[in-house]
């Protein structure tokens, strides 16, 4: 009825209405990106999407895991990964130990001389 009075189509009204909400959404998305970036930097760039989501939920934000993942990709936030320590020496073996030929009975007169 209002559309007919002002002489524009209903679709034009809803298009205009949708364009009015877009800036609010962009502001909200940018605020979320800032929060995600802050949590990521404060974690020394080690938190992934699950930990960042958990931190956001603790701050009171209601957000899904996939949304956090999408925001991290848009901001190019990639967490650092650390390799697990790998022991390369097997000290619990049953091999014989090399004999001590020096018997700790030596006198050193100069460097690199035994």
Q: Indicate yes or no: pTM above 0.75.
A: no
Q: What is the pLDDT of residue 42?
A: 96
Rounded to 10 deg, the angle between the 65-74 and 49-58 helix axes is 110
Of the two residues 11 and 1, the one the predictor is more confident about is 11
Q: What is the pLDDT of residue 7?
A: 74
Of the candidates 6, 27, 28, the one whose C-alpha atom is nearest the C-alpha of residue 16 is 6
Of the two residues 105 and 33, the one the predictor is more confident about is 33
pLDDT band at 99 (very low <50, low <70, confident <90, very high): confident
Half-sphere exposure of residue 30, counting CA atoms within 13 Å on the CB side? 6
Q: What is the pLDDT of residue 52?
A: 97
Contact 33, 71 (CB under 8 A): yes
Q: What is the pLDDT of residue 1?
A: 52
Mean pLDDT of 29-37: 94
Contact 63, 72 (CB under 8 A): no
As a whole number of angstroms, the distance between CA 26 and CA 55 comes to 22
R_g over Cα of the chain: 33
Q: What is the pLDDT of residue 77?
A: 97
Contact 6, 27 (CB under 8 A): no
Q: What is the pLDDT of residue 114?
A: 67
Candidate ranges 16-30, 42-56, 74-88, 100-114; pick with highest mean pLDDT:
42-56
Residue 38: DSSP 8-state = H
What does the domain layout of the chain look like in residue ranges? 31-80
Mean pLDDT of the chain: 86
């Amino acid at each position: 009825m209002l559309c007919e009075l002002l002489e524009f189509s209903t679709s034009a009204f809803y298009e205009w209405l949708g364009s009015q909400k877009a800036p609010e959404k962009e502001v909200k998305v940018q605020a979320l990106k800032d929060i995600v970036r802050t949590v990521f930097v404060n974690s020394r760039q080690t938190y992934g999407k699950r930990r960042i989501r958990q931190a956001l939920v603790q701050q009171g934000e209601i957000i899904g895991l996939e949304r956090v993942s999408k925001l991290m990709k848009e901001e190019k936030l990639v967490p650092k990964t650390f390799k697990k320590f790998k022991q390369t020496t097997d000290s619990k073996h049953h091999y014989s130990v090399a004999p001590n030929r020096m018997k700790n009975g030596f006198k050193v007169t100069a460097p690199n001389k035994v």
